Amino acid sequence: MIILTGNDLETGDVVWWTGSGWSRRVADAAFVEPGEGPEQAAGIMHREMTSRAVNGAYEVDAEDGEQGPVPSHIKERMRAAGPSVRPDLGVQAEG
């Protein structure tokens, strides 16, 4: 299954597509269907990047976890949480 991510253009924050907007928490992410349609992955990314609601959007494989989607790859889990060597920084530090 896939979710969508990117960075906030102004702040650079890592953000995830929730179905209606972008959240810093991956747990808020919505699974989306692949495809070009307006409510499918490529369509959403194109629209959101054109309006600059997000920068550099791309698809990420994820599983459905207890707290919501969990990215399959460690790199995306690192983006979602913050650096593993600095647990005091990033979203992970916000409790």
Residues that bind another protein (CB under 8 A): 7, 9-14, 49, 52, 55-56, 72-75, 78-79, 82-86, 89-90
**Closer to another protein by Cβ: residue 18 or 72:** 72
State residue 85 phi and psi, 5-degree precision: -90, -5
In the complex, least distance from residue 5 CB atom to another protein, rounded to whole angstroms = 11
Stretch (H or E) spanning 27: none
In the complex, least distance from residue 14 CB atom to another protein, rounded to whole angstroms = 6
**Closer to another protein by Cβ: residue 19 or 89:** 89
Task: Copy the structure tokens of residue 8.
Answer: 């906030």
Helices within 12-55 (DSSP H only): 41-50
State residue 3 phi and psi, 5-degree precision: -125, 170
Task: Copy the structure tokens of residue 84.
Answer: 């593993």
**Closer to another protein by Cβ: residue 1 or 89:** 89
